[in-house]
Amino acid sequence: MTGRSAADIIVEGRVQGVGYRDFAQRRAQRLGLAGYVSNLKDGRVRARAEGPRALIEEFVRELEKGPPLSQVAHVTVQWMPPTDQFADFGIRYTEFEP
């Protein structure tokens, strides 16, 4: 797969306190994506993913399902150019944004 892309992904629903960030990290690492996932203070989860667009699209489909205890209500994807600033895919525990 050629051509790198990036996406800022916002997941709404019951997605905090249910292992969602761990789920997202495992899926992204399996797909070879770079970026991060973090909780937002309003109860949503934000993921930033960089890699081939087709793999990011597959990642988004996985995020729409979520782990067993989650209840995903809505996923928003904003496509953007990659920054190439991420070496791997991690969990950010301290990033809270409005």
What confidence tens digit (pLDDT) does each residue in 28-72 have? 999 999 999 999 999 999 999 999 999 999 999 999 999 999 999
pLDDT band at residue 3, thresholds of 50, 70 and 90? confident
- Where in the sequence numbering do the catalytic residues fall? 21, 39
Angle of helix 20-31 relative to helix 53-65, nearest 10 degrees?
A: 150
Q: What is the pLDDT of residues 73-92, one digit of tens each?
A: 999 999 999 999 999 999 99
Q: Contact, 83 vs 34, CB < 8 A?
A: no
Q: How far is CA 79 from CA 62, 68, 70, 93, in A?
A: 17, 27, 25, 24
Q: What is the pTM of this model?
A: 0.92
Residue 98 has pLDDT above 50, yes or no: no
Task: Please answer whether residues 53 and 5 qualify as being in contact, where contact means their C-beta atoms are separated by less than 8 angstroms.
Answer: yes
Percent of the chain topping pLDDT 70:
93
What are the residue ranges spanned by the domains of the chain? 4-92
* Overall CATH class of domain 4-92: alpha beta
Q: How far is it, in rounded angstroms, from Cα 11 to Cα 23?
A: 13
pLDDT value at 96 more than 60: no
Residue 95 has pLDDT above 80, yes or no: no
Write the DSSP symbol of residue 79.
E
